[in-house]
Chain A
Amino acid sequence: MKKGLLRNTYIGSLAAVIIVLISVAAKGYKIFPAKGNDVCFACHEDPDLTMEHDGRKISLFVNSSNYKKSVHGGNDCTDCHLNYNPDDLPHTKTKAPVNCKDCHDDAKIKVLETGLHSKINCSDCHSKHEIKPAKEFSKEQTDACLKCHTSRNVQAYRTSIHSQKKEGCESCHTGGHNAKSIPKNEVAETCGKCHGQHEKSFNNSIHETVLKGGNNNAPTCTDCHGSHRILTSKMSIESESCLRCHLNSKLFPGEGKGSAKFVADYKTSIHASIQKNGKEAAGCSDCHGNHMIQNPGDPEASTTRTRLPETCGKCHKDIVDKFLNSAHGKALLNRSVAAPTCVDCHSEHSIKSVRSSDEFSKINQVDLCLKCHQEGKLPHKNYKGEEVLISDYKSSYHYKALQEGKLNAATCSDCHGSHEMKKFDDPTSRIYKKNIAQTCGQTNCHTKQLNEYTGSVHEVSISTKTNSDAPTCTNCHGNHQILKKDEQTNLISNSKGLVQLCSSCHASVELVRKYNLPTGRADTYLGSFHGLAVRGGSKLAANCESCHGNHNIRPSNDPLSTINKKNLPETCGKCHPGAAETLFNTPIHVTNQQSQSPLLYWITRFYIYLILIIIGGMVLHNAVDFTKKLKKKSVPASGEKA
Chain B
Amino acid sequence: MSDTKEKKYLRMTFNERVQHFCLLTSFITLVITGFALKFPEALWVTWIRAVFGENFFELRGTVHRIAAVIMVSVSVYHLLYVIFTERGRQLITDLWFKKTDVMDLFHTFSYYVGRSSTRPKFSRFSYIEKAEYWAVVWGTIVMGGTGTMLWFENTFLPVLSNSGMDIATAIHYYEAILASLAIVVWHFYFVIYNPDVYPMNKAWYTGYLTREEMELEHPLELEETESQDEQPEIADEKEVTEFPNPKEIETQPPVPENPSENKTDKTLPQPDFPNEVKTDVKDSERDDILRQNGDNTVNSEKENKKN
Indicate with 1 or 0, residue by residue over A538-566, a CB within 8 angstroms of chain B CB atoms. 11100000000000000000000000000
User: Are the CB atoms of B295 and A632 closer together than 8 Å?
Assistant: yes
Stretch at the interface among A17-25, A135-143, A244-252, A579-587: A579-587
Q: Please name the residue on chain B nearest to A610 by beta carbon.
A: B178
Say whether B174 contacts A611, CB under 8 Å: yes
- Do A599 and B38 form a contact, CB below 8 Å, given A576-B154, A580-B158? no
Indicate whether A278 reaches chain B with its CB closer than 8 angstroms.
Answer: no
Task: Determine the residue in chain B with the shortest Cβ distance to A604.
Answer: B170
Residue in contact with A628 in the complex, picked from B37, B56, B111, CB distance below 8 Å: B111
Shortest Cβ distance from residue B56 to the other chain A in the assembled complex, whole angstroms: 6
Contact call B174/A607, Cβ cutoff below 8 A: yes
- The chain A residue sitting closest to B49, CB to CB, is A537
**Inter-subunit contact B161/A536 (CB<8 Å):** no
Contact A582 B174 (CB under 8 A): no
Docked complex: A524-539 residues within 8 A CB-CB of B: 529, 532-533, 535-539
Cβ contacts under 8 Å, A110 to chain B: none
A537, B57: Cβ atoms closer than 8 Å: yes
Dominant secondary structure of chain A at its interface with chain B: helix
Residue of A nearest to B196 (CB): A629
A638 within 8 Å of B (CB atoms): yes
Most chain B CB within 10 A, of A539, A610, A615, is at A615
**CB of B288 closer than 8 Å to a CB of A:** no
Binary CB contact string for chain B from 13 to 55 against chain A (1 if under 8 A, 0 otherwise): 0000000000000000000000011101100010001000010
- Who on chain B is nearest to A532 by CB? B37
Q: CB distance A578 to B154 under 8 Å?
A: yes
**CA–CA, A94 and B231, complex, Å:** 187
Task: Please state if A584 and B111 are interface contacts (CB–CB under 8 Å).
Answer: no
Interface centre among B45, B56, B154, B194, by most A CB within 10 Å? B154
Question: Chain B residues near A641 (CB, 8 Å)?
Answer: 198, 267-269, 303
Is B200 part of the contact surface with A, judged by Cβ < 8 Å? no
Select which of A586, A604, A610, A618 is within 8 A of B162 by beta carbon: A586
B163 close to A (CB within 8 Å)? yes
Question: A42 at interface (Cβ–Cβ under 8 A)?
Answer: no
Q: Given A577-B154, A638-B307, A641-B303: A532 and B38 within 8 A (CB)?
A: yes
Say yes or no: is A636 at the interface (Cβ < 8 Å to chain B). yes
Residues of A with C-beta under 8 A to B295: 632
Cβ-based interface call for B133 (8 A): no
Cα–Cα, bound, A584→B157 (Å): 9
Q: Mark B181-222, 1 if CB is under 8 A from A, else 0.
A: 110011001100111101000000000000000000000000
Instruction: Determine if A603 and B177 form an interchain contact, defined as CB atoms under 8 angstroms apart.
Output: no
- With A597-B166, A633-B296 already in contact, the answer to whether A533 and B54 are too (CB < 8 A) is no
Interface size class of B (residues with CB under 8 A): 35 or more
Residue B171 CB within 8 A of the other chain: yes
B186 to chain A, nearest CB (A): 5
> Chain A, 280-324, contact with B by CB distance < 8 Å: what is the 0/1 string?
000000000000000000000000000000000000000000000
* Min C-beta distance of A581 to chain B, whole Å: 4
Enumerate chain A residues within 8 angstroms of B300, measured Cβ to Cβ: 633, 636
Bound Cα distance A578, B159 (Å): 9
Shortest distance from the beta carbon of A546 to any chain B beta carbon, whole Å: 15
Question: Hey, what's the 0/1 contact readout for A592-605 against B, CB within 8 Å counting as 1?
Answer: 00000101100110
Q: Is B251 an interface residue (CB 8 A)?
A: no
Contact of A625 among B40, B112, B161 (CB under 8 A): B112
Cβ-based interface call for A619 (8 A): yes
In the complex, A614 has a CB within 8 A of chain B: yes
Q: Are B157 and A629 in contact (CB under 8 A)?
A: no
Residues of A within 8 A of B113 (CB): 624
B166 adjacent to A586 (CB under 8 Å): yes
Give Cα A588 to B49, complex, Å.
29
Cross-interface CB contact of B307 among A579, A611, A629, A637, cutoff 8 Å: A637
How far, in whole Å, are A576 and B268 apart by their CA atoms in the complex? 56
Q: B residues within 8 A CB of A535?
A: 40-41
Residues of B within 8 A of A577 (CB): 154
Task: Report the bound CA distance from A400 to B252 in whole Å.
Answer: 70
A536 touches B36 (CB 8 A): yes
Contacts between chains A and B (CB distance < 8 A), count: 147
- Chain A residues, Cβ within 8 Å of B158: 578-583
- What residues of B have a CB within 8 angstroms of the CB of A26 in the complex? none
A630 at the interface (CB under 8 A from B): yes
A630 to B195, CA, bound (A): 7
Complex Cα distance A529/B64, Å?
Answer: 15
Asked if A148 is an interface residue, CB under 8 A from chain B, the answer is no
B174 touching A622, Cβ below 8 Å: no
Given A536-B40, A582-B158, A607:B175 Cβ within 8 A: yes
The answer to whether A615 touches B57, judged by C-beta atoms less than 8 angstroms apart, is: no
Select which of B54, B153, B163, B185 is within 8 A of A537 by beta carbon.
B54
Instruction: Give chain B residues whose Cβ lies under 8 Å from the Cβ of A638.
Output: 307
- The yes or no answer to A235 lying at the interface (CB within 8 A) is no
Measured in the bound complex, the distance between the Cα atoms of B307 and A600 in whole Å is 56
CB atoms of B181 and A615 under 8 A apart = yes
Flag whether A590 is at the interface (Cβ < 8 A).
yes
- Residues of the B chain whose Cβ atoms lie less than 8 Å from the Cβ of A586: 161-163, 166
A636–B296 touching, CB < 8 Å? yes
Contact between A599 and B195 (Cβ–Cβ < 8 Å)? Answer: no
Return the contact of B195 from the options A580, A603, A626, A637 (Cβ within 8 A): A626
B178, A607: Cβ atoms closer than 8 Å: yes
Docked complex Cα distance between A615 and B112 (Å): 19
B189 contacts across to A, CB distance below 8 A: 618, 622, 625-626
B60 at the A interface (CB under 8 A)? yes
Asked whether A642 is an interface residue with its Cβ less than 8 Å from the other chain, the reply is yes
A256 at interface, CB cutoff 8 A: no
Given known A536-B36, A600-B166, A600-B167, contact A583–B174 (CB-CB < 8 A): no
A619 touches B185 (CB 8 A): yes
Verify A626–B193 contact, CB threshold 8 A: yes
Q: Is residue B258 within 8 Å, beta carbon to beta carbon, of the partner chain?
A: no
Determine whether B265 belongs to the interface, using a CB cutoff of 8 Å to chain A.
Answer: no
The complex places the Cα of A529 from the Cα of B54 at a distance, in Å, of: 18
B58 touches A588 (CB 8 A): no
Q: Does B262 belong to the interface (CB within 8 Å)? A: no
When C-beta atoms are compared, the residue in chain A nearest to B112 turns out to be A624
B293, chain A: closest CB distance, angstroms:
9
User: A538 to B111, Cβ gap below 8 A?
Assistant: no
Most chain B beta-carbon neighbours within 10 Å: one of A538, A597, A642: A538
Contact in complex: A576, B166 (CB < 8 Å): no
Chain A: minimal CB distance from B229 (Å) = 32
B304 at the interface (CB under 8 A from A): yes
Q: Does A608 count as interface, using CB distance less than 8 angstroms?
A: yes
B228 contacts the other chain (CB 8 A): no
Given contacts A538-B58, A577-B154, contact A615 B166 (CB under 8 A): no
Is B75 interfacial (CB 8 A cutoff)?
A: no
Q: Say whether B157 contacts A579, CB under 8 Å.
A: yes
In this assembly, does A97 line the interface, its C-beta being within 8 Å of a C-beta of chain B?
no
Q: Could you write out 24 A-B pairs with CB less than 8 Å apart?
A: A529-B169, A532-B38, A533-B57, A536-B37, A536-B56, A537-B40, A537-B56, A579-B154, A581-B158, A585-B163, A586-B161, A597-B167, A607-B171, A611-B181, A619-B185, A622-B186, A622-B190, A624-B109, A625-B189, A629-B194, A629-B195, A629-B196, A641-B303, A642-B198
The 5 A-B residue pairs whose C-beta atoms are closest, nearest first, are A607-B174, A578-B154, A639-B307, A637-B304, A536-B40
8 more CB-based (< 8 A) A-B contacts, given A583-B161, A611-B178, A626-B195: A532-B37, A532-B40, A536-B36, A536-B57, A576-B153, A579-B157, A638-B307, A641-B268
